Amino acid sequence: MHGYWPQFLKVALAHLLAVASPGPDFAMVVRQSIAHGRRAAVWTSVGIGSAILVHVSYALLGIGLLLKTYPVAFTAMKVAGAAYLAWIGLKGLMSRPRRDASLSPFGTPGGAARPAAPGPRSAWTTGFLTNVFNPKATLFFVALFASFIDPRTPKAIQGAFGLWMSASTMAWFATVSVFFTRDGVRAAFLRGGHLIDRAMGIVFLGLAAALALASAR
């Protein structure tokens, strides 16, 4: 593992920025936190992290064969990955402050009564399906494995990268669950969230430029 730390750090940074960026997963965890409480939100977070293993699995099974058979596809995927990262970066730079932080996701008033909380299995399924059917997540992981991981890296090491991404995703969204089930935290985050989005946008644009300028292996 010692010789693969540079790859791991690149993967870890790209994944950290992606998982921390507001998107369908984030919105779902916030919704579960507000509508159903901490327990449901944490189980939803576990479901999201579990879905990461699905993306990792098809990346491991498909990318290696694709690169061996069609070397040009490597460059094509790098370009697609760079374009996707640049798109995320531009969206972050254009982020604006939210004018009303009193409403929960999907327009439900913050003081409305909560529906019956789902059980662990239902909450896990909600998180799993939210992530596994997100086409942006599919493109991200294909681009991540094609761009940042050497195809000669042993599958066991690549699998370890995937396990780390799954576990860190669960940990991140479980932390989000804890924070958003505390009074006043959600409103404060939404007021300053545009600044976080813009900072991440700059980093994503830098990653996109690095991918676009990198030479194909």
Task: Report pLDDT digits (tens) over 178-202.
Answer: 988 887 766 666 566 667 667 777 8
Please tell me the distance from the alpha carbon of residue 51 to that of residue 130, in angstroms, as a whole number. Answer: 9
pTM for the structure as a whole: 0.67
- Within its chain, how far is the Cα of 6 from the centroid? 21
DSSP result, 180-208: HTSTTHHHHHHHHHHHHHHHHHHHHHHHH
Output 49 or 213, whichever has higher pLDDT.
49
164 has a pLDDT exceeding 90: yes
Q: Which residues pair with 109 in a beta bridge?
A: 103
pLDDT-derived band at 103 (thresholds 50, 70, 90) equals very low
- Within its chain, how far is the Cα of 199 from the centroid? 16
102 has a pLDDT exceeding 50: no
3-state secondary structure of 65: helix
Output 157 or 141, whichever has higher pLDDT.
157
Please tell me the distance from the alpha carbon of residue 122 to that of residue 35, in angstroms, as a whole number. Answer: 14
Range with the poorest average pLDDT among 23-32, 114-123, 154-163: 114-123
151 has a pLDDT exceeding 70: yes
Task: Report pLDDT digits (tens) over 54-101.
Answer: 888 888 877 555 655 666 766 776 777 678 778 878 877 887 765 544
Predicted confidence at residue 108, as pLDDT, reads 43
Please tell me the distance from the alpha carbon of residue 29 to that of residue 126, in angstroms, as a whole number. Answer: 10
Write the burial class of residue 96 (CB in 10 Å: 0-12 exposed, 13-18 middle, 19+ buried): exposed
Is residue 181 within 8 Å of 38, Cβ to Cβ? yes
Predicted confidence at residue 186, as pLDDT, reads 60
Mean pLDDT for all residues in the chain: 78
Please tell me the distance from the alpha carbon of residue 153 to that of residue 3, in angstroms, as a whole number. Answer: 10
